[in-house]
Amino acid sequence: MEAPAADSSGGDRYRSHLSGEGEKNTVWRHGAPPTYDVVNALFEAERTQEWPAGSLEEVVQNAIKTWEMELSHKSRLSDFKSVSPGKFSLSVNGGRARGGEETLAMGSYNTLLDSALLASTGAYDAAAETFESSHDLFRSAFLRGFAWEVLKVYSGPPVIAFKFRHWGHKEGPYKGHAATGEKVEFHGVAVPKVDEQLRAEDVEVYYDPGELLSGLLKGPKVASSEEESSEVALAERLSEAATVSASGADPRTQTCPFLSSGKPHQ
């Protein structure tokens, strides 16, 4: 199966619509198109499947990578080329379907991890995260990126069902848990309905968030900056107490310097 004829914009080897005439008016979230060299290297080194060029599996894989790129880096839904105009919706694990504008405002991480159960455990609270903070959180944990691949395609368009794998290496901290260097991955199934140009209309995603978050929450808890400040202040007080004790003075009889100079307390 060939890529859709409408795909004339440039990109990297796995993502379309990153450059070219079709993107001359695109508003990029960070001012310019992103580059994917680092995560592409991770993908190529650790993928479990290498699909033949032009195969249905490769077309689906690249279409989803393009959609993720647009969702993460394009500021306006009108600049998206991977979704059917006015028809896109996304639901996760049977939850409420969100339209394109709501999904764009929340971002991929908040949409996929929006769960009262996750929030109650402290693993992830979508309501407390912005688009930017959610991406910063995962970017700081996965320093080489968060790679994604198609494992198997069960049906072709217009309703495509496929199994996927998402993985990265926790080489940075996550919510106060130190880096472990371990691979963190999860698997899931997605069922997108697409139009004749393979643009997504209705997308359903099913996966176990615990498979992802359990790996991220590994590692010893590290002190936050506020906790570190408190610990430094405590250490200073203890050092002062030790100095007084070493001088031979009894701290219980020490007078306030203001009183000893005859000045009242302020």
pLDDT in tens, 137-160: 999 999 999 999 999 999 999 999
Q: Which fold has domain 21-217?
A: Nuclear Transport Factor 2; Chain: A, (3.10.450)
CA atoms within 13 A on the CB side of 192: 24
Interacting residues of 247 by C-beta distance below 8 A, sequence separation 6+: none
**Dist CA 144 CA 153 (whole Å):** 27
- Dihedral over alpha carbons 75, 76, 79, 84 (to 10 degrees): 120
What's the pLDDT band for 222 if we cut at 50, 70, 90? confident
Q: What is the mean pLDDT of the chain?
A: 86
The helix or strand, by DSSP H or E, that contains position 91, with its residue range, turns out to be: strand 89-92
Measuring CA to CA, how many Å separate 101 from each of 78, 130, 185, 224, 243?
10, 15, 28, 34, 62
Residue 178's nearest CA partner among 133, 229, 217, 231 is: 217
Least confident range of 56-70, 139-153, 189-203, 241-255: 241-255
Least confident range of 3-7, 49-53, 168-172: 3-7
What's the pLDDT band for 237 if we cut at 50, 70, 90? low
Reported pTM: 0.80
pLDDT at 251 over 50: no
Please state the domain extents for the chain: 21-217
pLDDT in tens, 8-65: 467 799 999 999 999 999 999 999 999 999 999 999 999 999 999 999 999 999 999 9
